[in-house]
Amino acid sequence: MPIKLIAVDMDGTFLNNQQDYDRRWFQELYPQLQAQGIKFVVASGNQYYQLRSFFPEIASQLAFVAENGAYVVEAEEEVFCGELAAETIQEVLAELANYAEVHTLICGKNSAYVQDGEDPTFIQHASRYYHRLTTVANLRDLPEDTLFKFALSTTVANVEPLIASLSAKFAGRITPVSSGHGDVDLIIPGIHKANGLKRLQAHWQIADEEVAAFGDSGNDLEMLQHAGFSYAMANAQPAVKASAKTIIASNQEQGVLQQIEKILAETNQEHIPS
């Protein structure tokens, strides 16, 4: 089946290690995607407001599966917004207090929140991914908002033990996933990138077999398993490479744009009369 939807993770996938992409090349490819009726979806663990900033000229046209699927927006219209139970939030905060090496954000529709007194290096790191970041006196007492995700930062070596510990403690209530570089997201069970794509597919009447997905980290696994065409970056985590149907060039080599160009060429070839 032809590809009708392309979903790209950002960090480590669409973006290079300098947090950018070949904008001129993409500006050449995007009108071709539009002409072929192929939807372009940004699917990331990052905040919607940060993701928009990468596409200033066309953000109002795009669909975003942000916050690992907890917040889905199409053409600036909200499609879905998840919500963590208040009781779960308090229980998770109590548990995280036992991990001195873990830094914590709570993510909501209006903003992400960090506690006053957090490590300034962590706050600086977080502000790159959360353009709306509010400092509060206590994470247990936040402004009114719809809260849907925890974003944790720890050492790379501590990621797997942390995921195992929190998975055992909160089975069925939160799902810990790796988002690369020592970061771990705690998401609502079943509310992941694939779930966000399904909501957009239903709106656009696009089958799973017509979806192409690109990723590199643990929070991309459901999306890659869901898509008819799945691509792991050369720099992807081993589990991601094992899950994808195809391994392509790295994020540093603009592997996503290379593959989109191939997809467009194949689509154009299909449309040439025999």
Task: Measure Cα distances from 173 to 141, 146, 167, 169 in Å.
Answer: 21, 17, 9, 9
SS3 246: strand
Decide if 187 contacts 63 (C-beta within 8 A). no
φ and ψ of 132, to 5 deg: -105, 100
- Residues 181/156, Cβ–Cβ less than 8 Å: yes
Let me know if 9 is a catalytic residue: yes
> Looking at the chain, how many residues does it have?
274
Q: How far is the C-alpha of 73 from the C-alpha of 80, rounded, in Å?
A: 7
Q: How far are the Cα atoms of 50, 69, 114 from residue 126, in angstroms, in the given order?
A: 11, 19, 9
Classify residue 63 by burial, with Cβ atoms within 10 Å: 0-12, 13-18, 19+: buried
Residues with a catalytic annotation lie at 9
